[in-house]
Structure 1
Amino acid sequence: MDGSGRRRRVNTVRAAARGLLVGPRAWRLLCALAAVAAVALAVVGQWRMDRAAAVPGSFGSHFLDLLYGSLGLFVFQPPALPDTALSVPLQVARFLAPAATLYALADVLVLPTARLRARLASGHVVVCGSGPGALALVAKLRAARVRVVLVAEHGRADLVDLVGGDGVTVLVGDPASEALLRAAGVGRAQRLYVTGPATGHNGAVVTAAQTVARAAGRAGTDPLRCLVEESDPDVLDAMWMLLLRRPASDPVTIEFYNPARLGARLLLDEVRPRWDPVGSEPVVVAGLSTFGRELVVEIARRRHRALGGAGGRLAVVVVDEQAASLVDRLCRRYGVVEDMLDIACEESEVDALGLDQLVHPSHPGAFVTQIFVCYADAELALRKALATSRPPTRRSVVVRVDRMSPLGEALRPGSTERQGPMAALYDDLDFFPERERACDPDDAPDDRLEAWAEAIHVDYCRQRLESGEVRDDNEALVAWENLPEKYRSNNYDQARDIETKLRLIGCASARMAAAPEEFAFTADEVDRLSRWEHERWMRNRVANGWSFGDVRDNDRLLHPDIRPYDELSAETKEKDAQMVRLIPELLAGAGYRVVRFPTPAAAG
């Protein structure tokens, strides 16, 4: 702990020094000091030369002449000097003064040029933030040849060096400033990313962006897409509910994303060929960092999604100095964790613990084949991963790091470096660079079921809020990421049935096109699919223990609509019909559209 604290203090000092040396304000201060020093040295140097040449008069009588001669150095005009050797102070001043002039010209001409270039840009991407996630995002966009304007609070010179410079314009200031966002061309931008963990500041940036977009004439038909980083579940719920109340004509569409949650999904997709949450072998998660906690939740959700409640609980050993309390909080917030995972907590000293020696108490003879190392301290994570994956134990070890290191590149599957002795020692070790892989929510896998289920939930919450319900009355009125599994399952079932419904009438889903054709069901199609939807809903209810009752009773599992479709009231039939008519809108919200198969006549 002492070593880790010392490293943090050293990094803090380095960051402060870097900010002092590369910040534009600091350079302007240094330029001003250099200019004052140049004048003083030039005055002193000229006076020494006058004394050496025995020029008559006192220092006071010659001061204005000496000052005028000194100022001439800033415009490359040397003063009139006696025929003597140049003094040392004047030698220094004649180089220091032009240097200050050149920097002042660059500050006056180059930086405004960057702002002008950003202000005139259109169709570009604006990234607000200066942390590792923002820099990784800028590097990714730049590699894809996307024009980027980075709005950050730290020094321009350092950031340009980190993100590569070419194709990236860096503006320095407060990202929550409307003037700075306007200078960044937010009103004509394609997307706006607001990165960093500061919830209040991110909200201020979004508010300013909304004002700028509205002033630029953006509207519901051409809104600015704003992606905001938010990792706090409680804050996410509150902000998500506020978004549902926004009018469709709003100039900004806001999407929240959690880099750790996105990273956990991407990681499990990568390891799927070797390990899957539906298996029975115990797994180890070392380090309940933000990423580690999201990984545990995602493992539980994927197991529940694949097996339901019939697959038993997966044995998981969690290693963290506060494992018990963190796991308890996870179980209380996400019931699926307790339902699908049999978690054993290990709180021993990290350095005294061998991850490859861990066993689950309820599976003492089972061999652990998969270990995830998720410590926030990259040095600790790497050390434990290397110690765990060495022979003779043959198990898959995945270590989470901020960004890929030279060692990680050498051990990456398929790399040319992974052909020598390192391959024999660490063939089962893989690196997952979270900041690089999970910096952009658009990198999420194309999961139609997930997207459709979320769209269904969004529509449900919007309707409930419009009817006057509040969070205290309905526990399902939360963000999709925080929705209890019992409600998620219903949405998944409904989402799975969408493709079935479309096939019944000769249609299918497709990714949204640039200019999609308008689609609407015919009256006969609405009637047919409404019947199908009611039968699907009724089968689902009966399978979960519900039965018919004249009055709905959630405790006794009674519902008056568990009856044949033809016996339903007109009001209930209209609810089913409305759900069918909403399918194109639901899919559009998730980035999909409905297309009809060509009829034989049309194909001919």
Structure 2
Amino acid sequence: MPTKHKKNRNRETTPWFSLLLGVALLAFLALLLGFWVQLGQPLGKSLYSAANLLLNSEFIKPEEMSLRTGWIVVGQVLGYIAFYGILLRLAWVLLGDNLTASYVRWCYHDHIVVCSLNMQGQAFIRNLRQSNSEQRIVALLDHIDDEHESWCQQHAITLLYGDATQETDLHTAAVASAKAVIACGESTDTNLQISRAVQAISRQRPASNPPLDLYLAVNDAMLSEGLGNENYRHFLQPNERLNPCPYNADNLLARWYFNQYPPHTWADQHGQQQVHLVFAGFSPLVEALICQYAKISPYKDFAPPVFTLLGAGAEQWRDTLVARYPVFANGRSGAEQVIAGLYAQECTQTFKLDETKLTAIAQNGAVTAVLFCATEDESNFRHAMSLHQQTLRFNCWQVPFYVRLQQSEGIHTLLASANDTNADASLIPFGMAEQVFDLKRLMQVERNARAVHEAYRQNMLQADPGTAMSTDSMKPWEQLAETYRAANRRAGDHLPVKLASIGIHMPADQPLVLDDAIRLDEPAERRELLSRLEHRSWRYERLVNGWRYGEQRNNRQRLHPSIVLWEDLSESERKKDTSQLKAALRIIQ
């Protein structure tokens, strides 16, 4: 059971009360000057008269008009402002939330509830405001201060106090009639508790309404990969009233990066036949980038990609990755190979490399891009500048340098302080919150994945209706378990790569819409290439997720008979890949 929290508004009222108490002090000083200076009373009597008049809050009676001096009038006016200001502020603190909550509960429909105003929550809201300025948004927080109030007023957000893990507080935010809930807190455990509470409320949602979208931040990478496990199914089981969409911040950023800056396109344009990515610094983002690109890397006749880890302790990082993903071990071949190599190059913490080390890295494959992925913006930028200057000095690695910068406000300051005329063109910032945390982009990913799944269902139902209807992977998207949804997202992510392989380059973050004149199954060479690429990407995704070849499929043991090279597939399996791609693109359009 989730922990019950005692309601404590924690609203910072100190600035308001400090201001009002300051006004009261000025009122007392004005009254004191009036009695002491203007009326000439002794200091002791003046102090008593000023305090008595201020505390009693009485107007001077007509028979006492001789006491109405300028300072006393000013003091009385300020005293009334302070007195009634404090009363009104106390009333708002005690009753304001209840009034706002009642209005939301009875009047809000098709709104979006955000359960945190951290960097993710604020980015989601900014992007929502840019795409639809009229969209109603409710922020439900268990801690509110004046900074929260100011930010919400600036972005026209309704702010409510409450614990989003409790059903009663979710009812206050009218979740049952909402369009979506975004649980984007830093604690995965809290987000899962929110998921359970939202799941309970969604049962009260009218069946005629569309399903409630629940966007759930899972900040632990290993947990994110294992959400298809039965242990978490009760948190994320979709149904006709609830559509859970778990996400991991690093996985989102990896997906965005490869969609925005596809390395295979740059490599192809510069005469390379293989992608080689160098990661400077290590963080969970590096793991997400390697796993994401390993799954979607098949492009034209390119060789599998090469990854190099660069930094102090690089060999230990590589060993950690290989222990977690055995398929990344060097020396694999045939149907078990996903990448051409995962290498480690030790260097100082400031990333100073001599010409020998730079050349040694390039000997594993021409470098395509360098990514700085540490968690601190300034150190990322400084290290990128240092390594970039060394590559210029030794005239090597003439490739783009991508620098992770989470705060967009600091980019221009860092570039201005670089004192390098080539910095603007060579160092490309990525990873700002507004780029990654965007509901529109998340919905596009889900839309592509849904289309892939629907195409798969159509093909399987035509081929073998009886068997297809009895398998979990054939359920409609609304009932599909997370493990199968994740596989369909991979296929959706690979669609632009496959299209680029046949010369169709789609703009980043745009819907996949093809001209009706484009044929994917003609000529035969194109059909075969698309089939090869789809099977390789599917096989890579299975291998990265721990599957192995087995003569009989076994989901529990992660065995599959199709984890073989494309040449070893049956003709029917080869044709299925191309027809499924055609059907998916038709559904998307």
Q: Is TM-score (shorter-chain normalized) higher than 0.5? A: yes
Q: TM-score, normalised by structure 2?
A: 0.61
Contact 1:404 1:432 in 2 (8 A): no
Q: Which residue of 2 aligns with 1:72?
A: 57
Aligned amino acid, residue 118 of structure 1: V
Q: Shift in Å at residue 256 of structure 1?
A: 0.7
The answer to whether residue 278 in structure 2 is matched with residue 326 in structure 1 is: no
Contact 1:127 1:195 in 2 (8 A): yes
Contact 2:405 2:411 in 1 (8 A): no
Contact 1:38 1:97 in 2 (8 A): no
Corresponding residue SS for 1:427: helix
The answer to whether residue 401 in structure 2 is matched with residue 397 in structure 1 is: yes
Q: Shift in Å at residue 314 of structure 1?
A: 3.2
Aligned residues: 467
Q: Which residue of 2 aligns with 1:317?
A: 308
Aligned in 2, Cα 1:255/1:389: closer, same or farther, shift over 3 Å?
same
Encode CA deviations 1:305-364: one digit per residue, 9 max, x unaligned: 448xx9655332212444333333322333443341422223433215259985374753
Q: Shift in Å at residue 427 of structure 1?
A: 1.9
Q: Which of 206, 223, 243 is 2:195 aligned to? A: 206
Contact 1:39 1:70 in 2 (8 A): no
Aligned in 2, Cα 1:187/1:204: closer, same or farther, shift over 3 Å?
same
Aligned in 2, Cα 1:27/1:99: closer, same or farther, shift over 3 Å?
farther
CA RMSD of aligned residues (A): 5.6
Distance 1:545 1:35 in 2: 74
Corresponding residue SS for 1:196: coil
Aligned in 2, Cα 1:547/1:333: closer, same or farther, shift over 3 Å?
closer
The answer to whether residue 150 in structure 2 is matched with residue 171 in structure 1 is: no
Q: Which residue of 1 aligns with 2:86?
A: 100
Distance 1:171 1:108 in 2: 13
1:507-526 equivalences under 5 Å are none
Contact 2:152 2:159 in 1 (8 A): no
Q: Shift in Å at residue 112 of structure 1?
A: 5.4
Aligned amino acid, residue 375 of structure 1: A
Aligned amino acid, residue 137 of structure 1: F
Q: Shift in Å at residue 84 of structure 1?
A: 6.7
Aligned amino acid, residue 212 of structure 1: I
Corresponding residue SS for 2:122: helix
Distance 1:555 1:430 in 2: 41
Aligned amino acid, residue 401 of structure 1: L
1:19-418 equivalences under 5 Å are 25=10, 27-29=12-14, 31=16, 66-67=51-52, 69-72=54-57, 82=67, 86=71, 96-97=82-83, 99-101=85-87, 103-104=89-90, 107=93, 114-119=100-105, 120-145=107-132, 146-155=135-144, 157-159=146-148, 161-162=150-151, 165-215=154-204, 217-219=205-207, 222-236=210-224, 239-242=227-230, 244=233, 251-272=241-262, 273-275=265-267, 279-280=273-274, 282-303=276-297, 305-306=298-299, 313-338=304-329, 339-354=338-353, 358-359=357-358, 361=360, 363-364=362-363, 367-389=366-388, 391=392, 394-405=398-409, 407=411
Q: Which residue of 2 aligns with 1:438?
A: 436
Aligned in 2, Cα 1:222/1:302: closer, same or farther, shift over 3 Å?
closer
Contact 2:224 2:247 in 1 (8 A): no
Corresponding residue SS for 1:182: helix
Aligned in 2, Cα 1:462/1:37: closer, same or farther, shift over 3 Å?
farther
Q: Shift in Å at residue 66 of structure 1?
A: 4.8
Distance 1:479 1:51 in 2: 81
Q: Which residue of 1 aligns with 2:332?
A: none
Aligned amino acid, residue 188 of structure 1: S
Aligned amino acid, residue 258 of structure 2: L
Q: Shift in Å at residue 440 of structure 1?
A: 3.1
Aligned in 2, Cα 1:149/1:181: closer, same or farther, shift over 3 Å?
same
Decide which moves more: 325-334 or 264-273: 325-334
Contact 1:285 1:374 in 2 (8 A): yes
Contact 2:224 2:248 in 1 (8 A): no
Distance 1:187 1:43 in 2: 52
Aligned in 2, Cα 1:136/1:71: closer, same or farther, shift over 3 Å?
farther
Corresponding residue SS for 1:150: strand
Aligned in 2, Cα 1:228/1:320: closer, same or farther, shift over 3 Å?
farther
Distance 2:146 2:586 in 1: 42
Higher relative contact order (CA 8 A, sep 6+): 2
Contact 2:281 2:374 in 1 (8 A): yes
Aligned amino acid, residue 134 of structure 1: G
Distance 1:78 1:280 in 2: 90
Encode CA deviations 1:65-108: one digit per residue, 9 max, x unaligned: 955742528xxx67979467848998985664455356446656
Corresponding residue SS for 1:192: strand
Distance 1:355 1:117 in 2: 66
